[in-house]
């Protein structure tokens, strides 16, 4: 696959001169995420290909348009995984989009967030300059951590050209057990277990059943199953895929879908509607018609924040930021994109 850095850089330089706003995208599988913007499309899909993969070094470097599926297959062939287990939300998902959205999957609790596995990036800023930050080694403290700043920035600070990602060995074995339990007990149990070294790599509570994925050696899993109890489930791979890709029945809803991030031990939120829980209780999904003020207030009370993930009519997708933080956001936007042409408004109206 070709290296289109020069072409993309020229497009951005051109847009910078003409003050032409751009909508940077690739596989378009996560277009629903963030605010709608009206701008000229700049697709990174063709800028694809794995640049470097050395299993013994535990990293992979690929261009932003590389399909996530291709990368996951490549590392799976060497018994490795992307630690953050990112959702694809469609066949065409790319590595660049994954980093720009910064959404982690079920393994978040044991293996970290998307930014935690980013080692380095090459970006093109809003003036068309190619910049490289970080590297491909895990320990690297030279300069400010700009590569991680790109995670979750929704392309508003630069077009991501390539990324180096840290990998982990695939667990020797994984099994999932289901326990019938009420919500409060589920929250208690999850937080108790998290205080033990048990190898819990994912959790999901659907309102009546708590699903726990254990990832370790066969013998360690056996020991943990005994202390947790519950029943083994079949086809657990497809179960977790359903949670990650939101094809699980809960997510098939016409109501607005809220993503609420709270401290894991937070009690049941006072929001009407259906809900499920991931990440040992630290991630709550609500399918609800409640107004955004109610949802956001509940999230704040719990010490968290709420994102209108899908659906709804509000223009405010992400939790509003305090002024001191938002002022810094605007200044950083200026640093990377002085003409305000890269995905302007995708995250917040003024960004």
Pick the stretch among 18-26, 41-49, 111-119, 249-257 that binds another protein (CB under 8 A).
Answer: 111-119
User: Which residue carries 């497809």 as its tokens?
Assistant: 238
Give the gyration radius of the chain's Cα atoms.
21
Pick out residues in 331-350 that bind another protein (CB under 8 A): 331-332, 334-336, 347-348
Q: Are 76 and 57 in contact (CB under 8 A)?
A: no
Cα separation, 32 vs 9, in Å, equals 26
Pick the stretch among 31-39, 42-50, 67-75, 162-170 that binds another protein (CB under 8 A).
Answer: 162-170
Q: Are 111 and 85 in contact (CB under 8 A)?
A: yes
Q: Are 262 and 284 in contact (CB under 8 A)?
A: yes
Identify the residue among 241, 326, 339, 340 touching another protein (CB under 8 A).
326
Q: Closest approach of Cβ 91 to another protein, in Å?
A: 26
Pick out residues in 47-106 that bind another protein (CB under 8 A): 51-52, 54-58, 61, 79, 102
CA distances from 292 to 33, 128, 297, 307 (A): 16, 38, 8, 9
Is residue 237 part of the contact set for another protein (CB under 8 A)?
Answer: no
Residue 226 has what DSSP assignment?
A: H
Nearer to another protein, 62 or 68 (CB): 62
Cα separation, 73 vs 91, in Å, equals 13
Cα separation, 195 vs 266, in Å, equals 16
Nearer to another protein, 196 or 270 (CB): 196
Q: Closest approach of Cβ 302 to another protein, in Å?
A: 8
Cα separation, 168 vs 112, in Å, equals 11
Is residue 169 part of the contact set for another protein (CB under 8 A)?
Answer: yes
Cα separation, 142 vs 258, in Å, equals 38
Nearer to another protein, 195 or 252 (CB): 195
Pick out residues in 171-200 that bind another protein (CB under 8 A): 172, 191, 194-199
Two structure tokens written together for 136: 């491909």
Pick out residues in 282-311 that bind another protein (CB under 8 A): 282-283, 303-305, 307
DSSP string covering 40-92? EEEE-TTS--EEEEEGGGTEEEEETTSBHHHHHHHHHTTTEE-TT----SSTT
Query: How many residues bind to another protein according to rule CB under 8 A?
Result: 94
Residue 135 has φ and ψ, to the nearest 5°, of -170, -145
Nearer to another protein, 32 or 91 (CB): 32
Q: Closest approach of Cβ 122 to another protein, in Å?
A: 6
Pick out residues in 260-279 that bind another protein (CB under 8 A): 261-265, 279
In 3D space, the residue among 72, 60, 68, 74 whose CA is nearest the CA of residue 165 turns out to be: 60
Is residue 164 part of the contact set for another protein (CB under 8 A)?
Answer: yes
197 to 236: interface string for another protein, x by CB under 8 A: xxx----------------xx-xx-xxx------------
Identify the residue among 49, 90, 135, 273 touching another protein (CB under 8 A).
135
Pick out residues in 4-33 that bind another protein (CB under 8 A): none
Q: Closest approach of Cβ 209 to another protein, in Å?
A: 23
Nearer to another protein, 92 or 316 (CB): 316
């Amino acid at each position: 696959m070709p290296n289109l850095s020069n072409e993309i850089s020229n497009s951005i330089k051109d847009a910078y001169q003409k003050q032409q706003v751009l909508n940077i995208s690739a596989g378009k599988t996560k277009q629903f995420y963030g605010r709608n913007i009206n701008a000229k499309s700049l697709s990174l899909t063709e800028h694809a290909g794995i640049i470097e993969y050395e299993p013994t070094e535990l990293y992979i470097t690929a261009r932003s348009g590389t399909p996530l599926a291709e990368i996951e297959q490549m590392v799976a062939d060497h018994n490795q995984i992307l630690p953050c287990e990112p959702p694809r939300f469609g066949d065409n998902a790319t590595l660049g989009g994954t980093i720009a959205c910064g959404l982690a999957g079920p393994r978040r609790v044991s293996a970290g967030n998307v930014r935690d596995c980013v080692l380095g990036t090459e970006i093109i800023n809003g003036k068309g300059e190619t910049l490289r930050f970080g590297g491909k080694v895990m320990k690297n403290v030279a300069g400010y951590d700009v590569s991680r700043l790109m995670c979750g920035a929704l392309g508003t600070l630069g077009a991501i050209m390539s990324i180096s990602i840290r990998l982990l060995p695939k667990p020797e074995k994984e099994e999932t057990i289901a326990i019938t339990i009420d919500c409060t007990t589920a929250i208690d149990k999850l937080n108790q277990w998290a205080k033990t070294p048990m190898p819990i790599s994912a959790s999901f509570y659907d309102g009546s059943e708590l699903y726990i994925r254990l990832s370790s050696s066969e013998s360690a899993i056996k020991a943990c199953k005994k202390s947790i109890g519950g029943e083994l489930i079949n086809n657990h791979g497809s179960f977790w895929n359903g949670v990650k890709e939101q094809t699980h029945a809960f997510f098939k809803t016409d109501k607005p879908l809220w993503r609420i991030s709270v401290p894991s031990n937070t009690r049941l939120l006072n929001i009407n509607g259906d809900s499920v829980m991931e990440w040992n209780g630290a991630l709550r999904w609500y399918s609800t018609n409640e107004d955004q003020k109610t949802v956001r207030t509940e999230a704040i009370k719990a010490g968290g924040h709420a994102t209108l993930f899908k659906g709804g009519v509000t223009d405010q997708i992400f939790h509003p930021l305090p002024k001191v933080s938002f002022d810094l956001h605007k200044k950083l936007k200026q640093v990377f994109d002085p003409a305000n042409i890269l995905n302007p408004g995708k995250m917040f109206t003024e960004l």
